[in-house]
Amino acid sequence: MGTQIWSATQSKVMIDSTEIQGLQSIEYKVSRSRQDIVAVGKPIRQGVEYGVKVINGKLRVKSSCPPLDEKLSKSDVKDAKFSLQAQLKKDDSETAAKTIDFQECYLDDREFEMSVNGVGVAVYIFTATDIQES
């Protein structure tokens, strides 16, 4: 299978089915905790055991994202939860070539940065319970 090149200008990211306006980038990392199973009486690893899957991500948005700001201000867990979907496209076709669904997302932090030659950028840091790619 050949390399897939995704177009940032054609792709979009949705929060609870609302497109994020001014999105500059999305980053995410999927980690699994792992523990070595050591062979008895030998200095070698016999196997591994996997544990919790952790998904962390960042969204960089020009100025701000009101739907995310609203979620960050909620104190009730049910109200703070949101879904996030990235629809990746190769060109300007209507259908996404790849969809990434982040399930049960929660915001951890919001940062804001502005340089002398640029515009303000809000950075939203989130976690997700699971991720599905299709």
Task: Identify whether 46 is part of a domain.
Answer: no
How confident is the prediction for the chain on average, in pLDDT? 90
- In this structure, what is the dihedral angle of CA atoms 91, 17, 85, 3, given to the nearest 10 degrees? -10
- pTM of the predicted model, to two decimals? 0.84
Task: Identify whether 124 is part of a domain.
Answer: yes
Rg (CA), the chain: 19
Q: Give 46-74 as a DSSP string.
A: EEEEEEEEEEEEEEEEES--HHHHHHHH-
Residue 111 CA to residue 89 CA, distance in Å, equals 28
Q: How many domains does the chain have?
A: 1
pLDDT digits (tens, 9 = 90+) for 29-39: 999 999 999 88
Task: Identify whether 50 is part of a domain.
Answer: no
pLDDT at 2 over 70: no
CATH code of the domain in which 95 resides: 2.30.110.20
Task: Identify whether 74 is part of a domain.
Answer: yes
Q: Which domain holds residue 112?
A: 7-28+55-133
pLDDT digits (tens, 9 = 90+) for 77-134: 999 999 999 998 887 776 768 899 999 999 999 999 998 888 999 999 999 999 999 9
Token pair for residue 121? 């950028």
Task: Identify whether 68 is part of a domain.
Answer: yes
User: Would you give the DSSP letter of residue 4?
Assistant: P
Contact indicator for 128, 103 with CB cutoff of 8 Å: yes
Task: Identify whether 35 is part of a domain.
Answer: no
Cα→Cα distances 46→38, 73, 102, 124, Å: 5, 48, 34, 41
In percent, the amount of the chain with pLDDT more than 70 equals 96
Q: Tell me, what's the pLDDT at 109?
A: 95
Residue 22 zone, left/alpha/beta (φ > 0; ψ -120 to 50; rest): left
Beta-ladder partners of 59: 26, 124
Task: Identify whether 24 is part of a domain.
Answer: yes
Task: Identify whether 39 is part of a domain.
Answer: no
| β pairing state of 18-19 and 98-113 | unpaired
